[in-house]
A and B are shown apart, each in its own frame.
Chain A
Amino acid sequence: MKYDVTIKIALKEGMLDPEASAIQNAITNLGYTTESLRTARLFLIRLDAPDREAARAMAQKICERLLANPVIHRYEVEVAG
């Protein structure tokens, strides 16, 4: 079965996010007030797996072994369908 998996990688709570601060400043410069801003990265992956749970397990392994760095990141996996 083909599964579409969405993986979101974000910095853990409390980790310094210099890019987010710079973006938030730029938004302020445009005249908008924002309370907070955080960045995250999405990976949209199509993969083949026997079932939904296997697809999720494979996506989690990919996160742990490459996409996320456990020192600074947390991740969420969503399997569509």
Chain B
Amino acid sequence: MRFAVIQFGGSNCDRDVQYVLSEICGVDADLVWYKEGLLRSYDAVVLPGGFSYGDYLRAGAIAARTPIMADVIRHAMNGKLVLGICNGAQILAESGLMPGVFTINNYPKFICKPVHLRVENAASPFTSAYRNGDVIRIPIAHAEGRYAAPAETLASLNADNRIAFRFCDETGTVTVACNPNGAAENITGVLSEQGNVLAMMPHPERASETILGSVDGKPVFDSMIGFIERKG
């Protein structure tokens, strides 16, 4: 099993993701510089957090139009897994792999803090190690993380069970007060139509070791590994 972690100029969570995959989860994970393209077949691709191209134009807009993203889209079209975290989620939305957009927070500042999330769909390849309704605590770190989409898109995401995570309080109640960025319906994790692509603003790789204060993010990677193993 082999993961690719794509590095753009300005990515800064690439090594954290690779560390968690290889040292904590024990799978092979290559760092792939975006100019190289995807030169071999991978079981999963991770677009890590950071500030690709300095967030010029819109966060993720320029990285989404680099040639390697054509490789990532092909990989996704083959039903393989793609996880976009933070800037990676913004890139997925900008690339068209994910509906909607992650845009400027309603209070337009960078927020970096642990938040509570409710697992809304524990049947996806990224969340099967959780149970529906689990409340997890992992950090966010973004200035452009407010999920926005047309009403009809939100309706179809709800109807098709494509919302992976919502911001909630520590009891799992979804309230306006615990929505840190003004995201539509507290949404902060969205699945693609086929379920093999997840865009999420929170950072599971920053909550995958006890020493970091939480292991609540590790099941995202465990779920992906389990899914790939079951597929054979």
Please report A residues at the B interface, Cβ cutoff 8 Å.
15-16, 18-19, 22, 65-67, 69, 71-72
Chain B interface (Cβ within 8 Å of chain A)?
57-58, 61, 65, 94, 100-101, 103-108, 146, 148-150, 182
A71 touches B149 (CB 8 A): yes
From A66, A67, A72, contact of B103 by CB (8 A): A72
A67 with B57: in contact, given A16-B182, A18-B108, A19-B108 (CB under 8 Å)? Answer: yes
CA distance A21 to B146 in the complex (A): 16
Which residues from chain A contact B57 at a C-beta distance below 8 Å? 66-67
B61 lies within 8 A of A18 (CB): no
On chain A, the residues within 8 Å of B105 by CB distance are 18
Quote the shortest CB–CB distance from A75 to chain B (angstroms).
13
How many Å from the CB of A21 to the closest CB on chain B? 8
Of chain A, the residue at the smallest CB distance from B94 is A69
Please, how many angstroms separate the alpha-carbon atoms of A67 and B94 in the complex? 11
**Contact call B104/A18, Cβ cutoff below 8 A:** yes
What are the 3 A-B residue pairs with the smallest beta carbon separation, nearest first? A18-B108, A71-B101, A19-B108
Closest to B108 in A: A18
Q: Say yes or no: A72 contacts B65, CB within 8 Å.
A: no
Enumerate 22 A-B pairs (CB-CB under 8 Å) in ascending A order. Answer: A15-B148, A16-B106, A16-B146, A16-B148, A16-B182, A18-B104, A18-B106, A18-B108, A19-B108, A22-B108, A65-B65, A66-B57, A66-B61, A67-B57, A69-B101, A71-B100, A71-B101, A71-B148, A71-B150, A72-B101, A72-B103, A72-B148
